[in-house]
Chains A and B, each alone.
Chain A
Amino acid sequence: MNEQEEKRQARLRAMREADSRADGDIGRPAVVGAPAVAEQERREEVPEEVVFEASHLNLYYGNTQALHDINMKIYRNKVTAFIGPSGCGKSTFLRCFDRMNDLIDGCRVTGELRYGGVDINTINPILLRSRVGMVFQQPNPFPMSIRDNITYGPRCQGIKDRKYLRQLVVDSLNEGALYSEVKDRLRSSALALSGGQQQRLCIARCVAMKPDVILMDEPTSALDPIATKRIEELIQKLKEKYTIIIVTHNMQQATRVSDYTAFFMLGKLVEFAPTSEFFSHPKEKASEDYITGRFS
């Protein structure tokens, strides 16, 4: 930490102390007893729950190492954005969370990635993928009706209760902010929807599996600004229930939707920080060069 940063941190601490004294200073009556305890609890920062934790994670495609010694935590009900230049390993790392890399020949992972404290390699991949859903860059609805897109996953899991499935369709489409637009044509082909609607359907299809974590790989890069805005608003709503990891090339999108940002370069995690801090005071020169467009 350089002198400038130390000074900044010291001033931040002083401001926080001053802030904690502010009530008394402005002459409000002192809060005592149980309300004081409640007040104190309200002010105390709630420790963030770790959902995923990567420790010394390396990934190889054959002899080529794509990820180098990644150490990172993903926090519950937060949106974490992965940014970095093309080929830096952010999508590769994203695919580690639901073991999609297992499907690639010659791909080898060393180190550890823990989900809820359990090594993901010890979890049945089918079960893991039902807890960790994924939304891709290109909207990819199944060539079937809107309703069947939503019920496909649960049916594959053996759920046949028609009443439950009917309600699931409504709830999931509501969560995907799509229900009001398609409620009169649930039996129509999903392929007839617009690109933005198809992507929201994919999100609804994902939440129908009642996941814990949603992975999004550039979910808006194929969409227009209006559809993008709707998806971003949806992400803000979804994070109340789900933990979201999003890969994006759009840095303004990262600043708008994410709580944490991880910057990757050449397969290495260069910096991981709260988004507001990362985009205003990046600690690493490589991060600053990238976000300010001086990256070469």
Chain B
Amino acid sequence: MAVATTSSNAAVRGGSTLTKRQARLAMIMLAPTFFVLILVAFYPLVRTFLSSFTNEPFANPTAEVANVGLENYQKLLGIQIAPFPEGASLRDTMITGYRRVNTFELFGERYLFAAGDPMWIQAIVNTILFTIISVALEFSIGLLVALVVNTRFRGRGIMRAVMLIPWAIPTAISTVLWRYMLNDNTTGAMNALLSAFGLIEPSASIAWRSQYPLLSVILVDVWKTVPFVALLLLAGLQTIPTDLYEAGAVDGATVPQRFFRITLPLLFPTVLIALVFRTLDALRVFDVFAILLPNTTRSMATHNYEMMVTSYQYGYASATGVLIFIIIFAFTILYMSLFRVEVD
């Protein structure tokens, strides 16, 4: 009896029942994903945000936690640039609680640059420099590699497989490898190679990591990422129809003209999207900085980590995390609206 009623109801409602059933099934099938994402992303995000307004210590559940308002953010964002003539007192010039980043000359005047957290400011500068230089290098070298590998030659298949290796090796492990290669002792292949090619004196022992810290991380990241970028660009190159080049050749276009008028414009969408992905990746760099340059030169991510784990300042680290999140999320939104990402 009950069954009959239900089915006749269904028959009356017809198509809308099917739609409703689909919607309900969709919700059930999406539920596990929602649950996981709320648990491992949304909840930690809220927790981080809330504790960024406190002085909560790390790994000390019994400690008293006080609300400190915007204090953490004031310290992180506080910078001061003030005229600092020769002989002036640092104590009188600098805001209390700040520390000196450096002093610089501009138009013959001496200035003081101080900040609430100089290491954080330095970390932002390092991360941005790292991002700009390494992404620029990765795309220029990557494009060259992609163009070379896109031509026909023997062993092209092997070449493509080899190119996946740096990408597949865990960053932590390739960084350990490079840590030795950049040493100034017998493990330092870099010096050995350069002197084998006569580029440096055999006696020169360059301690790359301490003498050129930023260059060292860029070197490692570029090595790891160039083949990856090249493979993405290669995929883009292969979507360009060859008859375009033939038509160009018939019309008398030279090789550089064909490159700038055909290849680059058609490759542009691929380049743009890969560029954004790489930039977002580079902005959150952790492994290379943490392993290659322990504690000397920091990125935003390693500063966050050190503040929490080494300095035991959970609340302060949370504020750092929120700032990193805002920087990267703003970039993500910008990218999604800029390229009008179509999801359906």
Query: Does A associate with B in a complex?
Result: no
Where the two chains meet, the residues of A that have a C-beta atom closer than 8 Å to any C-beta of B are: none
